[in-house]
């Protein structure tokens, strides 16, 4: 089963690159939703079946695959924006940077002192690559919604890393992390609505004008 | 011996048929009857019977361009194994010759375009070299990845390496390679998401603009060379994407020809359902393809 899990992780890393290269927000949101669904399937492939596992899978797919993407796309619709204009760094440079980061995360994962049963799996490089992609999205994009998506991708990276420890991960911790994420998305949604009402655009770099002189 | 004869005759005779199939597919999508399958052959015969006009400002470079382009592509056709049979010409390291034969043919196409002194053709030449220098790494990285998998530097071994068993062993990276190769195939042959082969006299075109000044047999050679290039790169793609082999040589040839026709239909479908990309988006897609292949290499090297 772990071979199939590896293929899915390759897909996760490809989705990272797709998100770095696409300018349409709705497309990015769908991509992050697809990534969330894949992450929901993954634990079932590497751990034996249990009630705890089923709960995690259902929870992840529901939260990451349906609820959060729905909330973000709702915010996009309300704020009436379609694509990210003029990111701080262009799409091709970010795409190349993302590829370099992915390569580096493979090199880095080789160096880590991992447990022997995790050594040959793609989980650790995929986790680091996804984390770095999230960072990249957060730092290079200008629109608040793209930054929310970057934040989600980063959380996905952390989740992949945690997947190796699903057995040891109590339901409460997992639920708490998801709840945090959900609250974060809510807060971001409110902030986004306020920014768009105040400035009639979602450009976060304009927030600078709020600074008191 | 039989295989070499079949190889040469398929490589020489089949390319225009691919164009015919692509056009027929597009016609079917548009609800038209479309030109007959053999229309590209009729076009070629028509062009070869015509006279040529050479502009007085051009030099020998302009006349040499189409001939060298076709010659380089023909040699490349001899290097590629078709239908799981070893190629007539093969030595260790021929993958580099293969990639640079396309470089040579492209160099002469662009320099012949520049030789006319037309600013319009110069623009096309500049675009061609810009996009091809983004597409070339993909082809190279793909070949290197396959070379690493098959532990050989000869195209005949590299391209007959993908078998069902090897595909299953390295599924993810093979899929990535197929995706990257398909994008390169479309870009190198100026098919639709990158360039519209039907447009003439438009500011957006790439390949067609470079051959505007050629006429008669020279233009026929260019069209045939372009079809042959589609055939050669298509053969590379089919070898990687379709790892079927029966053991019976003739059946393998049948599978290969059917697969090439299937590929032509696929290209026709892609051309029918997609619009040409904006000029600024093209480098993005090409870089994306390079990253796909680099990713595949990363997975193989790991």
What secondary structure letter does DSSP report for A122?
A: S
* Placement of tokens 């300018």 in the chain: A23
CB-closest option in A7, A21, A106 to B288: A21
Whether residue A92 and residue B283 make contact (CB cut-off 8 A), yes or no, is yes
What secondary structure letter does DSSP report for A143?
A: B
CB-closest option in B172, B284, B291 to A99: B291
pLDDT at B129 over 70: yes
Structure tokens at B154: 């000869």
CB-closest option in B171, B284, B295 to A21: B284
Helices (H), A51-170: 51-60, 68-79, 91-111, 123-140, 144-163
pLDDT at B31 over 80: yes
Q: Is B284 on the interface with A (CB under 8 A)?
A: yes
Whether residue A99 and residue B172 make contact (CB cut-off 8 A), yes or no, is no
Q: What's the burial of A118, exposed, middle or buried (CB within 10 Å: 0-12/13-18/19+)?
A: middle
Q: What are all long-range contacts of B48-51, with beta carbons under 8 Å and residues at least 24 apart? A: B48/B216, B48/B217, B48/B220, B50/B215, B50/B216, B50/B217, B51/B216
Instruction: Kindly list the domain boundaries of chain A, sorted by start residue.
Output: 2-205
Q: Quick count: other Cβ atoms within 10 Å of Cβ B49?
A: 10
- Give first-to-last CA distance, chain B, whole Å: 41
Say how far apart CA B212 and CA B224 lie, in whole Å. 15
pLDDT at A152 over 80: yes
Q: What is the chain B residue with the closest CA to A97?
A: B291
What are the pLDDT digits (tens) for A45-95? Answer: 877 777 777 877 888 888 888 888 888 888 778 777 666 667 788 888 888
Say how far apart CA A26 and CA A32 lie, in whole Å. 10
Structure tokens at B155: 């195209």
Structure tokens at A161: 């890393």
What SS3 state is found at A24?
strand
Say how far apart CA A25 and CA A176 lie, in whole Å. 28
pLDDT the model gives residue A37: 92
Whether residue B298 and residue A17 make contact (CB cut-off 8 A), yes or no, is no
Say which residues have a Cβ less than 8 Å from residue B115's Cβ, sequence separation at least 6.
B58, B59, B61, B62, B65
CB-closest option in A7, A98, A103 to B171: A7
Alpha carbon of B104: minimum distance to chain A alpha carbons (Å): 28
Q: Is B291 on the interface with A (CB under 8 A)?
A: yes
Whether residue B294 and residue A10 make contact (CB cut-off 8 A), yes or no, is no
Q: What is the pTM of this model?
A: 0.85
What are the pLDDT digits (tens) for B286-296? Answer: 998 999 999 89
Strand partners, A203: A143
Contacts of A3 in chain B (CB under 8 A): 171
Closest CA to A160 of A28, A2, A35, A32: A35
What are the pLDDT digits (tens) for B161-207? Answer: 888 888 877 777 888 899 999 999 999 888 888 887 776 656 667 78
Q: What is the mean pLDDT of residues B97-126?
A: 91
What are the pLDDT digits (tens) for B199-240? Answer: 665 666 778 888 888 889 999 999 999 999 999 999 999 999
CB-closest option in B287, B292, B295 to A92: B287
Interface test with A, best of B174, B279, B295, B296 (most A CBs within 10 A): B295
Say how far apart CA A90 and CA A130 lie, in whole Å. 19
Q: Is B279 on the interface with A (CB under 8 A)?
A: no
Whether residue A13 and residue B295 make contact (CB cut-off 8 A), yes or no, is yes
pLDDT the model gives residue B202: 60
Contacts of B302 in chain A (CB under 8 A): 106
């Amino acid at each position: 089963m772990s071979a199939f899990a590896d293929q899915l992780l390759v897909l996760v890393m490809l989705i990272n690159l797709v998100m770095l290269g696409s300018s349409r927000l709705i497309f990015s949101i769908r991509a992050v939703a697809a990534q969330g669904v894949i992450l929901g399937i993954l634990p079932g492939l590497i751990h034996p079946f249990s009630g705890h596992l089923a709960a995690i899978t259902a929870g992840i797919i529901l939260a990451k695959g349906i609820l959060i993407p729905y909330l973000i796309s709702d915010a996009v619709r309300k704020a009436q924006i379609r694509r990210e204009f003029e990111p701080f760094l262009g799409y091709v440079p970010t795409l190349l940077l993302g590829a370099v980061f992915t390569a580096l995360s493979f090199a880095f994962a080789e160096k880590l002192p991992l447990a022997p049963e995790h050594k040959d799996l793609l989980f650790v490089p995929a986790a680091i690559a996804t984390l770095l992609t999230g960072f990249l999205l957060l730092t290079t994009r200008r629109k608040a919604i793209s930054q929310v998506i970057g934040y989600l991708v980063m959380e996905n990276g952390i989740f992949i890393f945690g997947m190796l420890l699903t057995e040891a991960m109590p339901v409460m911790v997992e639920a708490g992390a998801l709840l945090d994420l959900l609250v974060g998305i809510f807060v971001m949604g409110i902030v986004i609505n306020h920014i768009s009402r105040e400035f009639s655009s979602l450009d976060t770099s304009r927030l600078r004008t709020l600074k008191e002189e | 011996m039989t295989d070499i004869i079949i190889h040469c005759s398929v490589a020489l005779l089949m390319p225009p048929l691919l164009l015919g199939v692509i056009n027929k597919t597009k016609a079917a999508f548009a609800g038209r009857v479309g030109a007959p399958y053999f229309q590209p052959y009729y076009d070629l015969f028509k062009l070869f019977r015509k006279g040529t006009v050479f502009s007085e400002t051009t030099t020998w470079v302009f006349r040499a361009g189409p001939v060298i382009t076709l010659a380089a592509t023909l040699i490349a056709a001899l290097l590629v194994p078709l239908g799981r049979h070893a190629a007539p010409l093969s030595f260790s390291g021929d993958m580099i010759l293969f990639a640079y034969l396309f470089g040579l043919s492209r160099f002469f196409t662009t320099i012949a375009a520049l030789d006319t002194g037309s600013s319009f053709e110069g623009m096309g030449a500049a675009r061609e070299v810009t996009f091809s220098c983004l597409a070339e790494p993909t082809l190279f990285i793909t070949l290197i990845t396959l070379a690493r998998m098959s532990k050989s530097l000869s195209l005949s071994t590299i391209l007959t390496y993908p078998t069902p068993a090897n595909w299953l062993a390295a599924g993810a990276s093979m899929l990535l390679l197929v995706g990257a190769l398909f994008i390169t195939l479309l870009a190198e042959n100026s098919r639709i998401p990158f360039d519209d082969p039907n447009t003439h006299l438009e500011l957006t075109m790439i390949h067609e603009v470079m051959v505007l000044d050629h006429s008669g047999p020279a233009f026929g050679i260019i069209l045939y060379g372009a079809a042959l290039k589609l055939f050669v790169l298509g053969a590379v793609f089919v070898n990687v994407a379709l790892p079927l082999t029966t053991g019976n040589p003739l059946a393998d040839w049948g599978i290969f020809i059917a697969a090439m026709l299937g590929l032509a239909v696929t290209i026709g479908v892609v051309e029918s359902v997609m619009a040409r990309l904006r000029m600024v988006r093209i480098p993005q897609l090409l870089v994306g393809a390079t990253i796909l292949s680099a990713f595949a290499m990363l997975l193989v090297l790991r």
